[in-house]
Amino acid sequence: MREVDPWRFAGGFIQRALSASIPDEAAYDDIPWTPVRKPVSESKVALLSTAGLSMKGDAPFDMEGERRKPTWGDPSWRPLRADATSESIEANHLHIDTGYILRDLNVALPVDRLGELVREGAVGGMAETHYSIMGYQGNDTSVLENESAPAIAQAMRNEGVDLALLAPV
């Protein structure tokens, strides 16, 4: 098995600065996974990207705050339409190279790949809404954990989503 290099696109300075603040041990003992209740081929699936994506015309993620304090990430979230394309989104994130996303949205939000799986019958359906957060949160994840994540989960429940796929970048 090949190991994934999480710093491949970050550069040496960012790697050194950020890796020093990552704890050696996980902060959580248990991950609250929810068991799958029906076959994937019958499930409605939503995507969750960590690339700081927003639809053009929607409020972008706060990159000015990120510029002022590089160890901070905007903890809010954005809904994304299922028909999103590289031309209809903005990628607002200083901790990643967004050029790849602007050339091919599937790098950060694999809507085309999910659509293929739906057409093949491997996945029951695609949610009308996908979601994005800014994956880098620095040391304070409290707003993301206590406000944004529950709001995203509720929005998915309201839409009848059965499964969420995380698309980390």
Q: Is the pTM of this model over 0.85?
A: no
Pairing of strands 53-55, 89-91: antiparallel
pLDDT in tens, 5-57: 767 767 777 777 777 766 655 555 666 677 888 999 999 999 999 999 999 99
Return the pLDDT at 8: 72
- pLDDT at position 60 is 94
Interval 66-98: pLDDT, tens:
888 888 889 999 999 999 999 999 999 888 888
The predicted pLDDT at position 27 comes to 59
- Spatial contact of 135 and 6, defined as CB atoms under 8 Å apart: no
What is the distance between the alpha carbons of residues 89 and 74, in angstroms, rounded to a whole number?
A: 17
Q: Which amino acid is it at 130?
A: H
**pLDDT-based confidence at residue 139 (cuts at 50, 70, 90):** confident
What is residue 157's predicted lDDT score, i.e. its pLDDT?
96
Q: What is the pLDDT of residue 37?
A: 87
Distance CA 154, CA 120 (A): 28
DSSP class of 38: S
